[in-house]
Chains A and B, each alone.
Chain A
Amino acid sequence: MTDASLPTVVLVDDHALFRSGVRAELGGRCHVVGEAADVESAVRVVLAARPEVVLLDVHLPGGGGAKVVEHVLATIPDQAFLALTVSDAPEDVVSLVRAGARGYVEKTIAADDLVAAIGQVRAGEPVFGPRLAGFVLAAFSGREEPVSDPEVDQLTPREREVLQLIARGYRYKQIALRLGISPRTVESHTSAVLRKLQLTSRHELSRWASRRGLD
């Protein structure tokens, strides 16, 4: 029945209206295998349906999207999550990515772009949009005090360059052209940043958040 090549998706959002909107938009291009409106049911549905990609909101009753990621990853370590949120608070988005989401898109994203992002996450590539790049840059550059572990707590100049170009709205191919590297290398930089973000101590980021009056 269902086309095996269509990505399977679970939608997690507490607004039923939004879920049905996304479901309609994805119709024919993704196979929505489950929906959930809070943390507890989200974990249950994802574990039962085993989708390729989970579309996840930041704010959820029962502890937020990060909780869902933590719980699910404990059982399925390679589950792919894509954060889909209206929140424009950097710490909201960064916290979800830190928990293990492979990317972040805004809720106002066009249907085509959303489908593309789902495909990317499904293929194991990070979805590093301009906004997320800006948030991550801000998160890493806000540190004035000496970092405890430069390997993890700092971006390399190249990574910073790549992130800034993403934030400015350049596409991977354009970035590769500008920097004289291959698109693959651009991707490996974003993946490295994502890893760093997930390894950064909780302490570091919360200090960043508190200094910016965000928590």
Chain B
Amino acid sequence: MSKVKMQETLEAVPPAALTVEGLTVWRGGRCVLEDLGFSLASGSITAIVGRSGVGKTTLIHCLNGLIRPDTGVISVPGLGSLGEPEALRRHRRSSATVYQDHALIGRLSALDNVLLGLADLRHPLSPLPWSSQHRRQAAQALEEVGLLYRASALVRDLSGGERQRIGLARALVRKPRLLLGDEPFASADPVLVRRFGDELRRAVERSGLTVVLVLHQLDVALRLADRVIGLSEGRVAFDGAADGFGPSAQGRVFHGIFSLPSGGASRP
């Protein structure tokens, strides 16, 4: 019953392509993001790169509605502007975020943490335990990240890399159309990064998943992404195909030498 209902809700949502126009965010008297504009094609992987403190995390938090931009509009075709509560609600239901600090609860088991990814499907005051359907979904998500054998281990006993994979599973269990990630591979070893990269690419090709990742490691970003958005001093310093993110573009993004965005075309 609940399965049918949930799939209906998810399928009613149009493909998660997203448009950002004139996005400006002030934080503590400082302009963190200034007049950002880009549009994300559905079924693509976009890497957001830039120096620390340039506003990458703020951008991710704008895209999942945790931060309301001071000016500018983020809209999803078919849903409208995320400033509208109903559009935001449906956008959030079809998206998921992996957080930099994992944002897990240490004293709960891995499975219980993954179940939190489905918390919006339950009434907050329901006294019932998680349904077996939801538990099965969570176990499948754990299997996808290769941690099913740790399902009942407490998260506080897991390693940093394992926690990151639990965070990823909590996002995947939502079967999102839009996957946002804030340094999702920061504590994973290179072999795992490659594996997850391949997984993501397959999901993108299979189900039209749209992925936006904040990435520190440039080599990972260039290998994984179709498109790179480089931020510098709160503005878009580069926006283009990953192939085109060469040394001079990298210099602009990472050395704070601001110049106008070079074109806007993304790889089809």
Q: Do A and B originate from a single complex?
A: no
- B→A interface (CB under 8 Å): none
